[in-house]
């Protein structure tokens, strides 16, 4: 039963976070050479879709930036391809979970869409909330069944401290929050542009 | 509605249309899995499944075994020949002994109708019926309906004709229940001697004319003529059967409409189905076999993940 529901990150704040995350991606992956973004189904994909919108808008600004496209501090090879988006995919981890028998409700699977090879790629796995770490653990297993990426990074919008059950930490983190076991964090992508993050207190 | 209500899959009649749909959507995902470079997921790595085949089978047994292995389950196989069954052990004793070795699930084929039902009353682990006598073969019906759905978008409102030996066919009976549950229209076509008396009371059409059935249907599911039952003389000769009830290219060309051809295998080429039809683009026989693995994965997965199992 829901006792209390409180918005912890409002739309304006969330859009700043998305902008920062896309800047971090641009900074660490110049040109997105051999880089792919893979969202974990289902909610990581919602997050990735929104992030891709922000990233695309940012790339459009950069492509109009004279100093950026001619000269500037970046060499030709670094700017080459910078203006194109990295490929995106969706990964379903349902059949890789180790906790499917411990849930009160069975999980339903979603579609996996990886329309590219993972060989030699830099993969950034994207999910909305990091809690126990079991989803991303299953995600790594699922990912490696599709090939051998060069490296794997992990981006999360919300990292819930205090309750991680695996030694897993995100490479990119939108916001860290302190939560209790009886609380849930839900990211709501309800409006076409806006979104917010809610902290929900429940019983049991 | 995200879980199966029953702990076993013994009869299609135990499944609601909603549950069949759940099996289908789960099978969609497993079909994607078995087409990956690594065709395997670790879901059932903590589960041991015993395949008990008290009657010979090639395709169904292989299909179940592959489904189990692609879910990472441990598999033990048992076949009646050369086992303690020939020493007079009862079915329940045989299965209890196997379960004592910590087996979590049973897939069983048995020559007697109702064997799975009987076993379910005596043991507590989930049972999947892989064919019991002339009674039911639920996973075959599910994969047939799944293949129709895949080719025609839906099963609802489609006209499906089942040809051949209806009397001895568990595939026919399970198919009838499954198709009716999903809202398809069903017609049976075969010699009067191989048509169970009163079968039309299930709400379907019955005919003895192949052409009539072909003209009516969207999908033709052609059953195997069981040559091993020929001593009883349900029809004068195989040649006569082929002439009256065999489906061939000439007949299909005369119908002038596209019919999807299905067959649960093994085919008697040139008896119930001519080779050119079996190998034609209209035939989805091999697609059925592929779907069989995905459907069985879905059934095993859903039975083993029922939340009631939590202790």
**Domain boundaries defined on chain A:** 29-179
d(Cα B140, Cα B39) in Å, to the nearest integer? 22
Name every chain B residue with its beta carbon within 8 A of the beta carbon of A100.
43, 305
B29: nearest CA in chain A? A111
Q: Is B87 a catalytic residue?
A: yes
d(Cα B300, Cα A95) in Å, to the nearest integer? 12
Going by C-alpha positions, the residue among A170, A174, A194, A171 that lies closest to residue A185 is A174
Q: Is B59 a catalytic residue?
A: yes
Number of helices (H), then strands (E), in chain B? 11, 9
**3-state SS, residue B261:** strand
Of B26, B47, B60, B242, the active-site residue reads B60
Query: Tokens for B194?
Result: 């191989």
pLDDT score of A156: 95
Q: Is B31 a catalytic residue?
A: no
Q: Sign of dihedral through CA atoms B138, B143, B144, B150?
A: positive
Task: Choose the closest CB to A145 out of B38, B306, B307.
Answer: B38
pLDDT score of A66: 53
Under the banding of pLDDT at 50, 70 and 90, the label for residue B308 is: low
Calculate mean pLDDT across residues A38-49. 92
Choice among A105-114, B252-261, B277-286 with the minimum mean pLDDT: A105-114
Name every chain B residue with its beta carbon within 8 A of the beta carbon of A111.
29, 32
Query: Tokens for A106?
Result: 């069975």
Calculate mean pLDDT across residues A46-56. 92
The CATH T-level fold of domain B12-136+290-309 is Rossmann fold (3.40.50)
B297: nearest CA in chain A? A95
Of B31, B61, B135, B137, the active-site residue reads B137
Note whether B12-136+290-309 and B138-284 share their fold. Answer: yes
Q: Return the axis-axis angle of helices A43-64 and A11-28, rounded to nearest 10°.
A: 70
Q: Determine, for residues B36 and A94 on separate chains, whether the beta-carbon distance falls below 8 Å.
A: no
Decide the pairing of beta strands A183-188 and B74-79: unpaired
Choice among A60-69, B126-135, B248-257 with the minimum mean pLDDT: A60-69
Q: Determine, for residues B41 and A108 on separate chains, whether the beta-carbon distance falls below 8 Å.
A: no
Q: Sign of dihedral through CA atoms A97, A101, A107, A108?
A: positive
Calculate mean pLDDT across residues B83-97. 82
Most A CBs within 10 Å, among B45, B299, B304, B305, to test the A interface: B305
Name every chain B residue with its beta carbon within 8 A of the beta carbon of A89.
none
Check if CATH label 3.40.50.1370 holds for domain B138-284: yes
Q: Return the axis-axis angle of helices B59-70 and B285-304, rounded to nearest 10°.
A: 50
Decide the pairing of beta strands A183-188 and A196-202: antiparallel
Give the ipTM. Answer: 0.70
Q: Determine, for residues B41 and A95 on separate chains, whether the beta-carbon distance falls below 8 Å.
A: yes
Average pLDDT along chain B: 91
Taking the CA of residue A125 and the nearest CA in chain B, the distance in Å comes to 19
Q: Determine, for residues B306 and A96 on separate chains, whether the beta-carbon distance falls below 8 Å.
A: no
Task: Compare B291 and A62 and report the one with higher pLDDT.
Answer: B291
Calculate mean pLDDT across residues A134-158. 93
Q: Determine, for residues A92 and B42 on separate chains, whether the beta-carbon distance falls below 8 Å.
A: no
pLDDT score of B173: 95
Could you count the other beta carbons within 10 Å of the beta carbon of residue B93?
13
d(Cα B303, Cα B3) in Å, to the nearest integer? 8
Query: ∠ CA(A110), CA(A113), CA(A118), 5° rounding?
Result: 130
Name every chain B residue with its beta carbon within 8 A of the beta carbon of A141.
42
Percent share of chain B, pLDDT over 90 = 76
**Domain boundaries defined on chain B:** 12-136+290-309, 138-284
Q: Is B109 a catalytic residue?
A: yes
Query: Tokens for A177?
Result: 């929050």
Range from A92-106, B1-15, B78-92, B221-235 that averages highest in pLDDT: B1-15
Q: What is the pLDDT of residues B102-118, one digit of tens each?
A: 999 999 999 999 999 99
Check if CATH label 3.40.50.720 holds for domain A29-179: no
Name every chain A residue with its beta carbon within 8 A of the beta carbon of B307.
103-106
Are residues B190 and B245 in contact, defined by beta-carbon separation less than 8 angstroms? yes
Pairs of CB atoms within 8 A across A/B = 55
d(Cα B226, Cα B238) in Å, to the nearest integer? 11
d(Cα B24, Cα B96) in Å, to the nearest integer? 32
pLDDT over 80 at B86, yes or no: no
Q: Is B60 a catalytic residue?
A: yes
Q: What is the pLDDT of residues A84-130, one digit of tens each?
A: 889 999 999 998 988 777 776 667 788 888 888 999 999 999 999 99
């Amino acid at each position: 039963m829901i006792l209390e529901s409180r918005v912890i990150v409002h739309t304006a704040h969330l859009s700043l976070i998305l902008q920062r995350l896309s800047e971090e991606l641009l900074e660490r992956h110049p040109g997105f050479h051999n880089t792919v973004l893979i969202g974990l189904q289902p909610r990581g994909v919602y997050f990735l879709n929104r992030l891709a919108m922000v990233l695309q808008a940012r790339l459009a600004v950069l492509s109009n930036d004279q100093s950026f496209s001619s000269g500037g501090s970046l060499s030709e090879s670094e700017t080459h391809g910078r203006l194109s988006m990295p490929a995106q995919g969706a990964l379903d981890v349902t059949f890789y979970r180790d906790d499917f028998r411990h849930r009160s409700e069975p999980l339903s699977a979603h579609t996996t869409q990886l329309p590219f090879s993972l060989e030699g790629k830099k993969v950034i796995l994207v999910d909305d909330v990091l809690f126990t770490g079991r989803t991303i653990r299953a995600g790594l297993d699922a990912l490696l069944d599709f090939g051998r990426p060069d490296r794997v990074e992990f981006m999360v919008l919300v990292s819930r401290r205090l309750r991680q059950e695996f030694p897993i930490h995100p490479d990119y983190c939108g916001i860290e929050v302190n939560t209790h076991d009886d609380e849930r964090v839900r990211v709501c992508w309800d409006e076409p542009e806006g979104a917010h993050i809610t902290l929900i207190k429940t019983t049991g | 509605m995200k879980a199966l209500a029953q702990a076993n899959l013994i009869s299609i009649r135990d499944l609601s249309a909603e549950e069949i749909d759940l099996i289908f959507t789960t099978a969609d995902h497993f079909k994607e899995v078995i087409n990956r470079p690594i065709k395997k997921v670790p879901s059932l790595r903590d589960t041991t499944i015993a395949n008990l085949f008290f009657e010979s089978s090639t395709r169904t047994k292989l299909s179940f075994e592959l489904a189990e292995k692609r879910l990472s389950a441990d598999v033990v196989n048992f076949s009646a020949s050369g086992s303690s069954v020939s020493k007079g052990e009862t079915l329940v004793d045989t299965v209890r002994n196997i379960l004592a070795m910590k087996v979590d699930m049973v897939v069983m084929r048995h020559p007697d109708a109702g064997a799975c039902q009987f076993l379910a009353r005596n043991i507590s682990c989930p049972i999947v019926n892989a064919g019991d006598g002339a009674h039911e073969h639920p996973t075959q019906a599910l994969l047939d309906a799944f293949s129709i759905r895949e080719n025609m978008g839906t099963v609802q409102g489609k006209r499906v004709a089942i040809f051949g030996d209806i009397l001895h066919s568990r595939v026919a009976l399970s198919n009838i229940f499954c198709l009716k549950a999903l809202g398809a229209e069903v017609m049976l076509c075969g010699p009067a001697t191989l048509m169970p008396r009163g079968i039309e009371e299930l709400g379907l059409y019955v005919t003895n004319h192949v052409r009539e059935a072909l003209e009516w249907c969207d999908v033709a599911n052609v059953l195997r003529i069981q040559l091993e039952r020929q001593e009883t003389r349900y029809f004068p000769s195989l040649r006569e059967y082929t002439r009256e009830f065999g489906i061939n290219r000439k007949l299909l060309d005369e119908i002038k409409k596209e019919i999807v051809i299905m067959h649960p295998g093994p085919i008697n080429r040139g008896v119930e189905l001519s080779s050119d039809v079996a190998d034609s683009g209209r035939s989805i026989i091999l697609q059925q076999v592929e779907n069989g693995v995905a459907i069985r994965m879905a059934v095993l997965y859903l039975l083993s993940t029922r939340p009631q199992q939590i202790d």
